[in-house]
């Protein structure tokens, strides 16, 4: 059973739909007991970092996620805002502390070139940087769907599994032990995204 964490940010049903499609039982929840009983966790999200952290705190989810991910070591996937929340800090509309699961800071995209609009919306290539759970040993580019204005500036380069070029390269996926994360939306990335979700489910 996979628990999709509900903290009031983003379309969680699209993640549930892709898990249903590949035949994996799942539940959308913010209840501590259901999260503790789950085998794996997914933290999706779209929206502002500060509001997201406030919601997680109000629901008591910071503590349960910290325990289940960092102590119990459950397989965890952060998607879009869910990836950014793993950072130590974000500079989106002020300065906000994150979950601190992976060392780094969230900063605004600053692409070089007038043709690059913010937010970065649409399909783009993902360039795998090393073997990891979501890509396996397939180093060929993936085509994935993005919607974001900020990026994760990762402190430890060995945590980086993928980069994307949008007027300059930025980190688009991470993996550290049981923690996986993508800036893009695998649940909206069709063939390549489905394959990544299958790999996460099998992990």
96-97, strands of its sheet edge to edge: 96-97, 89-90, 104-108, 150-154
Q: Which helix (H) or strand (E) holds 8?
A: none
DSSP designation for 186: G
DSSP 24-70: --EEEE--HHHHHH-SEEEE---S-HHHHHHHHHHTTHHHHHIIIII
Q: Contact, 9 vs 47, CB < 8 A? A: yes
Which residues are annotated as catalytic? 80, 185, 187
The rounded distance, in Å, linking the Cα atoms of 124 and 86 is 23
The rounded distance, in Å, linking the Cα atoms of 46 and 29 is 17
């Amino acid at each position: 059973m996979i628990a999709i964490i509900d903290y009031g940010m983003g379309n969680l049903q699209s993640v549930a739909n892709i898990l249903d499609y590949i035949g994996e039982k799942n539940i959308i929840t913010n209840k501590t007991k259901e999260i503790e009983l789950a085998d794996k966790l997914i933290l999706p999200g779209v929206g502002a970092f500060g509001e997201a952290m406030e919601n997680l705190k109000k629901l008591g989810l910071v503590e349960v996620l910290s325990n289940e991910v960092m102590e119990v070591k459950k397989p965890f996937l952060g998607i879009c805002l869910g990836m950014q929340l793993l950072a130590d800090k974000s500079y989106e509309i002020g300065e906000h502390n994150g979950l601190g699961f992976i060392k780094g800071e969230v900063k605004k995209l600053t692409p070089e070139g007038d043709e690059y609009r913010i937010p970065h919306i649409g399909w783009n290539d993902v360039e795998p940087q090393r073997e990891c759970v979501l890509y396996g040993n397939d180093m060929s580019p993936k085509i994935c769907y993005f919607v974001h204005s900020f990026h994760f500036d990762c402190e430890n380069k060995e945590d980086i599994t993928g980069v994307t070029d949008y007027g300059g390269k930025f980190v688009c996926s991470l993996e550290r032990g049981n923690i996986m994360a993508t800036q893009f939306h695998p649940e909206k990335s069709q063939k390549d995204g489905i394959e990544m979700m299958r790999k996460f489910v099998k992990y």
